[in-house]
């Protein structure tokens, strides 16, 4: 076994370069490659020669284009990233052409920037795009920023004009809480102050761009923070009789070692790390932030993609369905209340809705306004409500696990950070469930083994509708049919619950919610046992369903509504308007269950 020790690995640093169109980002990167001797031998001459032949002025941007196809000498360039090395570290420069790419990079780990270069054309000054990017950087918590004033040659390397721009931008950045480490006057085209100190601006006593990069601290590895790993996937060993699974993901913060007790949220399930599996197949004793890794557990608990792994003795992540966020909106259509979007945070993806707008800020002018929708390019402080609870951290605790994007119609349309986890109406229940799962003694037979043995996936079938709509006869007919097919099935009227699990429980209206709770707890056990449970209840609402979903760990629930008109707000999966014949209706339901893979033949 060997301990992964980051000191042995040369540090990687991701730096995003942002600026308005044509302000010189590509030129600066090209220059940097040329002046640090990172280019393949003869490359510069070759590109210059080609330009001459075609009677085109040489551009450093062409250099980058020509490198895209090559992979030698340690520089590779893909669509938006360029890699180069110094003695100190490996740099990955991310050219973020638009807001969406930028947000995507920032939220989805792999090419998340730890520092930024902001490029401003000395002649054109500060443009809107740069202000917005500045705001975004601040919102996403990137504190290491260096401002590069480019094309100084076009303003005769003038000190006072440089100072003017510095003053202007400094005051804007201050308002959004960004303190750039420095402002550097450069000419990308002529290579002044990029890698070599300029002798055209002797009045400037500061650092070159390369020196500024070398000064940035690596923030990629928040090793001192509590352990966090969003579960990306659960891999099963395929060898017969081996029921181990590898819980895989990228560690976002902290460190994990063999023997550590881990808790997964939102479920609250816990186990112990048995082994750490790296992809090079070497065994390791521990793994740290920034590393894609996987581990096996001593106890086989059933967890899924989207959960957040943490360590038992460290600060817990937050779990809620209601969050206060800062959000930057990019969608062509404004973000509006009530509409369904997806929020992607870590590896979780759930439906969310805009619940309340607290304030809206124009990212370019910083003006505040009141509005009931969030227009494109606006920044909003707002409250989002989620369909299911997710686990995350607040920005001030762990930035890596507080960032999210919003998806509208398959497109990333916004993104931001979680400022606060808010109490939602189910916080109490969730707390109780987390304790239950935490204390739970797990069976050595896992849900998949049961599913295979019984040829069914344990599911809660909720049949609701008006009084006397025929729910119960339908439920019992369905139970009989499934039983005949050899399924493990059980009927439970919610009324039965009122007189169980209680000392003197009588179903009254005030006890209604309590009964929903009890039914869900029973369902949780029965589903864990692999059963298909059919429950009937009058007039279930979406609110009731939310409670049930919070309580049962298995989220397989099918809702059948019986009756002419849907008279509650519940989202049903099957609507039976009128029961014609029990036989044909149960057959219809059974074929739907087959289609959905809830029951299957051995």
Residues forming contacts to ligand GTP in the complex (CB under 6 A) are 19, 21-27, 59, 61, 150-151, 153-154, 187-189
Residue (59 or 397) nearer to ligand GTP, CB: 59
Which of ligand GTP, Mg ion, none does residue 27 bind (CB under 5 to 8 Å by kind)?
Answer: ligand GTP
In whole angstroms, the minimum distance from the beta carbon of 208 to ligand GTP comes to 14
Residue (49 or 333) nearer to ligand GTP, CB: 49
Burial 258-286 (b: 16+ CB within 10 A, else e): bebebbbbbbbbbbebebbbbeeeeebeb
Residue (32 or 526) nearer to Mg ion, CB: 32
Residue (129 or 587) nearer to ligand GTP, CB: 129
Residue (64 or 519) nearer to Mg ion, CB: 64
Which of ligand GTP, Mg ion, none does residue 292 bind (CB under 5 to 8 Å by kind)?
Answer: none
Which of ligand GTP, Mg ion, none does residue 87 bind (CB under 5 to 8 Å by kind)?
Answer: none
Q: Which of 367, 578, 383, 382 is nearest to 465 (CA)?
A: 578
In whole angstroms, the minimum distance from the beta carbon of 228 to ligand GTP comes to 35
Residue (21 or 55) nearer to ligand GTP, CB: 21
Q: Which of 493, 492, 482, 480 is nearest to 454 (CA)?
A: 482
In whole angstroms, the minimum distance from the beta carbon of 26 to Mg ion comes to 3
Residue (25 or 43) nearer to ligand GTP, CB: 25
In whole angstroms, the minimum distance from the beta carbon of 153 to ligand GTP comes to 5
Cβ-closest position to Mg ion: 26
Burial 157-173 (b: 16+ CB within 10 A, else e): beeebbeebbeebeebb
Residue (146 or 589) nearer to ligand GTP, CB: 146
Which of ligand GTP, Mg ion, none does residue 249 bind (CB under 5 to 8 Å by kind)?
Answer: none
> Rounded to an integer, what distance in angstroms lies between the CA atom of residue 113 and that of residue 15?
5
Q: Which of 94, 114, 93, 119 is nearest to 183 (CA)?
A: 119
> Rounded to an integer, what distance in angstroms lies between the CA atom of residue 89 and that of residue 426?
48
In whole angstroms, the minimum distance from the beta carbon of 189 to ligand GTP comes to 3
Question: Site for Mg ion (CB under 5 A): how many residues?
Answer: 2
In whole angstroms, the minimum distance from the beta carbon of 149 to ligand GTP comes to 10
Judged by CB under 5 A, the stretch of 19-27, 68-76, 82-90, 280-288 that binds Mg ion is 19-27
| 3-state secondary structure at position 2 | strand
Residue (44 or 529) nearer to ligand GTP, CB: 44
DSSP 250-318: E--BSEEETT-EEEEETTTEEEEEEEEE-TT--EESEEETT-EEEEEESS-----TT-EEEETTSPPPE
Could you say which DSSP state residue 440 is in? P
Sign of dihedral through CA atoms 426, 429, 435, 437? negative
Residue (209 or 258) nearer to ligand GTP, CB: 209
Which of Mg ion, ligand GTP, none does residue 459 bind (CB under 5 to 8 Å by kind)?
Answer: none
In whole angstroms, the minimum distance from the beta carbon of 77 to ligand GTP comes to 13
Beta pairing class for 532-538 and 459-465: parallel
Which of Mg ion, ligand GTP, none does residue 188 bind (CB under 5 to 8 Å by kind)?
Answer: ligand GTP
Residues 6+ apart with CB under 8 A from 366: 135, 172, 175, 176
In whole angstroms, the minimum distance from the beta carbon of 61 to ligand GTP comes to 4
In whole angstroms, the minimum distance from the beta carbon of 15 to Mg ion comes to 15
Kindly give the residue spans of alpha helices, DSSP state H, lying in 108-235: 128-139, 159-175, 209-215
Which of ligand GTP, Mg ion, none does residue 415 bind (CB under 5 to 8 Å by kind)?
Answer: none
| 3-state secondary structure at position 591 | helix
At residue 392, φ and ψ (nearest 5 deg) are: -165, 180
In whole angstroms, the minimum distance from the beta carbon of 95 to ligand GTP comes to 7
Contact letters for Mg ion, residues 24-53 (x by CB under 5 A): -xx---------------------------
Which of ligand GTP, Mg ion, none does residue 346 bind (CB under 5 to 8 Å by kind)?
Answer: none
> Rounded to an integer, what distance in angstroms lies between the CA atom of residue 501 and that of residue 458?
22
| 3-state secondary structure at position 596 | coil
Which of Mg ion, ligand GTP, none does residue 189 bind (CB under 5 to 8 Å by kind)?
Answer: ligand GTP
Residue (62 or 172) nearer to Mg ion, CB: 62
In whole angstroms, the minimum distance from the beta carbon of 202 to ligand GTP comes to 18
State the CB neighbour count (10 A cutoff) for residue 176: 17
Kindly give the residue spans of alpha helices, DSSP state H, lying in 399-493: 427-439, 447-454, 471-484
In whole angstroms, the minimum distance from the beta carbon of 591 to Mg ion comes to 57
Residues 6+ apart with CB under 8 A from 81: 92, 93, 94, 95, 111
> Kindly report the CA angle at 228 between 225 and 233, in degrees rounded to 5?
160
Residue (121 or 546) nearer to ligand GTP, CB: 121
Which of Mg ion, ligand GTP, none does residue 35 bind (CB under 5 to 8 Å by kind)?
Answer: none
Residue (65 or 233) nearer to Mg ion, CB: 65
> Rounded to an integer, what distance in angstroms lies between the CA atom of residue 283 and that of residue 273?
13
In whole angstroms, the minimum distance from the beta carbon of 113 to ligand GTP comes to 17
Which of Mg ion, ligand GTP, none does residue 133 bind (CB under 5 to 8 Å by kind)?
Answer: none
Q: Which of 578, 580, 575, 573 is nearest to 595 (CA)?
A: 573
Q: Which residues bind Mg ion (CB under 5 A)?
A: 25-26
């Amino acid at each position: 076994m060997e301990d992964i020790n980051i000191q042995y690995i040369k540090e990687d640093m991701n730096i995003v370069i942002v600026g308005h169109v044509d302000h010189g980002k590509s030129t600066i990167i090209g220059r940097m490659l040329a002046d640090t001797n990172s280019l393949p031998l003869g490359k510069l001459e070759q590109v210059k020669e080609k330009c001459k032949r075609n009677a085109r002025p040489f551009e450093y941007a062409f250099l980058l284009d020509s490198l895209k196809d090559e992979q030698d000498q340690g520089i590779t360039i893909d669509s938006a990233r360029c890699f180069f090395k110094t003695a100190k570290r490996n740099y990955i420069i991310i050219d973020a052409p638009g807001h969406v790419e930028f947000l995507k990079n920032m939220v989805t780990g792999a090419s998340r920037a730890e520092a930024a270069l902001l490029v401003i054309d000395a002649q054109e000054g500060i443009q809107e795009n740069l202000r917005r990017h500045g705001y975004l950087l601040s919102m996403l918590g990137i504190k290491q920023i260096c401002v590069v004033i480019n094309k100084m040659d076009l303003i005769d390397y003038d000190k006072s004009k440089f100072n003017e721009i510095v003053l202007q931008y400094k005051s804007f950045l201050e308002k959004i809480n960004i303190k750039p480490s420095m402002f550097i006057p450069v000419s990308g085209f002529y290579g002044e102050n990029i890698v070599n100190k300029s002798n055209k601006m002797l009045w400037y006593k500061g650092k070159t761009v390369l020196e500024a990069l070398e000064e940035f601290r690596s923030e990629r590895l928040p090793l001192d923070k509590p352990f966090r790993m969003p579960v990306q996937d659960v891999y099963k060993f395929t060898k017969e009789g081996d029921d181990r699974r590898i819980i895989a993901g990228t560690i976002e913060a902290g460190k994990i070692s063999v023997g550590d007790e881990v808790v997964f949220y939102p479920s609250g399930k816990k186990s112990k790390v048995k082994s750490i599996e790296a992809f090079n197949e070497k065994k390791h004793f521990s793994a740290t932030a920034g590393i894609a890794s996987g581990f096996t557990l001593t106890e086989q608990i059933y967890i899924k993609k989207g959960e957040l792994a943490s360590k038992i003795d460290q600060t817990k992540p937050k779990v809620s369905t209601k969050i206060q966020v800062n959000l930057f909106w990019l969608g062509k259509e404004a973000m509006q209340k009530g509409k369904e979007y997806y929020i992607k945070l870590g590896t979780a993806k759930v439906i969310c809705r805009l619940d309340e707008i607290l304030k809206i800020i124009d990212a370019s002018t910083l003006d505040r306004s009141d509005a009931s929708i969030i227009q494109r390019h606006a920044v909003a402080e707002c409250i989002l409500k989620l369909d299911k609870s997710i686990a995350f951290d607040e920005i001030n605790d762990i930035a890596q696990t507080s960032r999210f994007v919003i998806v509208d119609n398959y497109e990333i349309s916004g993104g931001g950070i979680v400022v606060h986890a808010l109490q939602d109406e189910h916080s109490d229940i969730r707390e109780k469930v987390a304790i239950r799962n935490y204390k739970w003694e797990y069976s050595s037979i896992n849900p998949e083994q049961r599913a295979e043995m019984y040829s069914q996936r344990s599911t809660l079938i909720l049949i609701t509708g008006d009084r006397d709509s025929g729910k119960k006869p339908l439920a019992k007919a369905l139970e009989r049919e499934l039983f005949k097919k050899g399924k493990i099935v059980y009927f439970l009227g919610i009324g039965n619950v009122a007189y169980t699990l209680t000392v003197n429980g009588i179903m009254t209206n005030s006890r209604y919610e309590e009964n929903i709770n009890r039914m869900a707890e029973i369902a949780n056990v029965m589903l864990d046992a692999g059963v298909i449970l059919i429950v009937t209840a009058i007039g279930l609402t979406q609110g009731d369903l939310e409670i049930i979903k919070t309580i049962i760990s298995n989220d397989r629930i099918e809702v059948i509504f019986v009756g002419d008109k849907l008279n509650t707000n519940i989202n049903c999966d099957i609507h039976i308007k009128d029961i014609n014949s029990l036989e044909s209706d149960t057959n219809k339901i059974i074929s739907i269950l087959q289609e959905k893979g809830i029951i299957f033949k051995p």
